[in-house]
Amino acid sequence: MNFIDAIILAIIEGLTEFLPVSSTAHMIFMSSINGTSGDEFVKMFQVSIQFGAILSVVALYWRKFFDFKSPMFYVKLALAVVPALVLGKLFDDKIEAVLEKPIPIAIVLIIGGFVLLFIDRLFQRPKIQKEENITIQKAVVIGFWQCLAMMPGTSRSAASIIGGMQQGLTRKLAAEFSFFLAVPTMLAVTCYSIFLKDWNYKGVEQKGYEMITSSSENITLFVIGNVIAFVVAALAIKLFIGIIDKYGFKIWGIYRIIVGTALLIYFSMA
């Protein structure tokens, strides 16, 4: 992977991580197109640059994350992330296997698009407009909804936002709580990929941090990737909140169907 590839992947991560369009699917497709999909460092890089995206949420909502007078906020996030951590560990190998198959991911992208076309009609009477009114039970239920994103192409953001709306949250609050929940979820996945997971890098079993520190080029790619993901994700979050609050999710459904269909055709002919 060269610097251009790393920059493109980081921009894609920042743009798509918090949108209901599946960042994983977009990065897998791009890696397949530019011929870097089989590289273990690239796979680890795609996960590790989520750290930059995480920081953008903390920076934008710093008052919420550092309001230590409201401990229940942290309790809700801690409990809501448990389902994803447990199921993610149990099905890690199966998820990894699906990541090698772009066609099923494209199909899931399309199916999710059709869901988003009609999701606003299903939940037209939200009752919860403030995070403080989200109960622990509702937070945990949203956490289980988030687990649907273990199938690449689903979108963690889409799954958790739909879960929030199903639990009575407004579109805006469901999106914001999805952002909040992304922080412990993605932080756990990033730490696992860097410090715990074994990668077969150049024929040798290595941890993620060993791959990163194996060369100055890898260190530079890691740093640049996270910085770009941070900046782009911050801009994407602000844009997304404004769009869904005014127009809903239909536009994202149309986007998923168009992109998914195009990629399905591309990989079917490849």
pLDDT on residue 9: 94
pLDDT on residue 202: 83
Alpha carbons within 13 A on the beta-carbon side of 152: 24
Structure-token pair, residue 219: 């260190």
pLDDT on residue 123: 86
pLDDT on residue 128: 95
pLDDT on residue 175: 92
pLDDT on residue 169: 95
H helices then E strands: how many in the chain? 14, 2
CA distance readout (Å), 5 to 19, 224, 246, 256: 21, 12, 34, 23
> 137-150 burial string, b = 16+ CB within 10 Å, else e?
ebbbbbbbbbbbbb
pLDDT on residue 31: 84
pLDDT on residue 99: 63
Per-residue pLDDT of the chain in tens (270 residues, 90 and over written 9):
889 999 999 999 999 999 999 888 888 888 888 887 778 899 899 999 999 999 999 999 999 999 888 899 999 999 999 999 898 877 766 666 666 678 888 999 999 999 999 988 888 888 999 999 999 999 999 999 999 988 888 899 999 999 999 999 999 999 999 999 999 999 998 999 999 999 988 888 999 999 999 999 999 999 999 999 999 999 999 888 888 878 889 999 999 999 999 989 988 886
Would strands 198-201 and 204-207 be described as parallel, antiparallel, or unpaired?
A: antiparallel
pLDDT on residue 100: 64
Name the one residue in this structure whose structure tokens are 């199921």: 87
- Cβ atoms of 142 and 167 within 8 Å: the answer is yes
Judge residue 166's burial from the number of C-beta atoms within 10 Å of its C-beta, 0-12 exposed, 13-18 middle, 19 or more buried: middle
pLDDT on residue 98: 62
* Threshold 0.75, pTM exceeds: yes
